[in-house]
Structure 1
Amino acid sequence: MKRETWAVLIVLLLAGAAAYAHATNTTEDYSRYNVGWNGTSNFAGREVRDPGAPILILAPDRPFTAEDVGYLQAFLSDGGRVIIADEDGNANRLLADLGSSMRIRPGNLASLDR
């Protein structure tokens, strides 16, 4: 191959690697792609192996499917515990589907002193 062809291939490869790195890492709070202190990448995709362990739902950003709700209902019926951390109210539909009267009001609780 010509030298110019190799140079173009290397530049394209580096650009592709940079785009991939950017797409798979973020600094957005609570993101499953955030590897920083305020990210949840260590939790994302983990399976519940201990039946006594709670399921942690952090900042849900999509509606829960009927399959999700069914799994959680069965988990709760078997004595499981679910912890929901949500500041936008996205989990309210899930709470209603699970039969809970609790709801989340959108907002950020920054201080207990106020």
Structure 2
Amino acid sequence: MQLTIDAVSRPEVMRFWQVVLGYDEFGDEDLIDPFDDGPWLHFQQMDEPRQERNRLHLDLYLPQEEAEARVAAVVEAGGRIVNDAKAPLYWTLADPEGNEVDIAPWPDSH
């Protein structure tokens, strides 16, 4: 399975998702799961941004200590926190073009 993300600024958007998911680069337009468990991510170049809100976001569950560290790494890589009102239950982050991901600890780690 492949997920495709449209991007005007492909390098910045790819970097965000690479850090969020811990994926490896594969060429100039793709990221792959180093464990070969997750979907392939393809980044399609766009000439101008979409005006409507995205209809899809990812939920990423990690152990508590990894979730908090991943949020910090994603912000360092150019992402931004959109909502942390429920932290540490989850954080909503966005890439430079507004595509979102919720990062949360495993439900049984509380």
TM class by smaller structure: under 0.3
TM-score when normalising by structure 1 = 0.27
> Which structure would you say has the larger RCO, counting Cα contacts within 8 Å and 6 or more residues apart?
2
TM-score when normalising by structure 2 = 0.28
Q: Which has the higher strand share?
A: 2
